[in-house]
Amino acid sequence: TVIHGSSAESFKVTLVDTGLNTKTAGRLKLVQKYTDNEDFMLTYGDGVCDVNIHALLDFHKAHGKIATVTSIQLDARFGGMDLGKNGEVESFREKVKDESKWINGGFFVLKPEVFNYLQGDMSDMMWEDEPLEKLTEDKQLMAFQHLGFWKCMDALRDKIELEELWEKGNAKWKLW
| Residue pLDDT tens, the chain, 176 long | 566 666 667 777 888 899 999 999 999 999 999 998 999 999 988 889 999 999 999 999 999 999 999 999 877 777 777 888 877 788 877 766 666 688 899 999 999 999 999 988 888 899 999 999 999 999 999 999 999 999 999 999 999 999 999 999 999 998 87
**Is pTM, for the whole model, over 0.85?**
no
Q: Which amino acid, 54?
A: H
Nearest to 162 by CA among 149, 176, 147, 151: 151
Q: What angle do CA 79, 81, 87 make, to 5 degrees?
A: 135
Domains and CATH numbers, the chain: 24-74+104-167 (3.90.550.10)
